[in-house]
Amino acid sequence: MTVPVTLTGPAELAALRTASPVTWFALAKTRPMAATVSQDQKLRILSLPDGAEHRVIDVAGRNIDVFAFSPDGQSVAIGDHKGRVSVWATETGQVRFELQLARYPGIAVFSRNGALLAITSQGDAVQLIDVGTGKPSAVLGTPIGGTSTLAFSRDGRIVATGDGDAVVRVYDVRTGKRLAENRELLMIPLAIDVSADGATAIVGGGDKTLLFIDTATGKTLRRLDRTMQPPAILEVAPDGKSFTIAYMNAANMTVPDHVVIAETSSGQPQLDWLPPAFPVGGGWTSDGRMLVAIASKDALHLWQLR
Q: What is the CATH number of the domain that holds 41?
A: 2.130.10.10
pLDDT at 28: 96
Residue 95 lies in a domain: yes
Closest C-alpha to 115, from 134, 94, 91 = 134
Domains of the chain: total: 1
Residue 43 lies in a domain: yes
Q: Which domain holds residue 98?
A: 23-139
Residue 117 lies in a domain: yes
Residue 59 lies in a domain: yes
pLDDT at 247: 96
Supply the DSSP symbol for 225: P
Residue 189 lies in a domain: no
Residue 241, number of CB atoms within 10 A of its CB: 13
Q: What is the tens place of the pLDDT at every residue in 33-65?
A: 999 999 999 999 999 989 999 999 999 999 999
Residue type, 220: T
- Using the predicted structure, report yes or no on whether residue 24 has a pLDDT greater than 80: yes
Residue 174 lies in a domain: no
Residue 66 lies in a domain: yes
As a whole number of angstroms, the longest Cα–Cα distance in the chain is 50
Residue 283 lies in a domain: no
Edge-to-edge order in the sheet of strand 136-139: 105-110, 116-121, 127-130, 136-139
Q: What is the mean pLDDT of residues 241-252?
A: 94
Q: How far apart are the first and last CA of the chain?
A: 16
Q: What is the tens place of the pLDDT at every residue in 180-238?
A: 999 999 999 999 999 999 999 999 999 999 999 999 999 999 998 778 899 999 999 99
- Using the predicted structure, report yes or no on whether residue 274 has a pLDDT greater than 80: yes
Q: What is the tens place of the pLDDT at every residue in 275-301?
A: 999 999 999 999 999 999 999 999 999
Average model confidence (pLDDT) across the chain? 94
Length of the chain: 306
Q: What is the mean pLDDT of residues 154-178?
A: 97
Q: What is the mean pLDDT of residues 156-164?
A: 97
Closest C-alpha to 114, from 209, 226, 235, 31 = 31
Bridge partner list, 44 = 36, 56
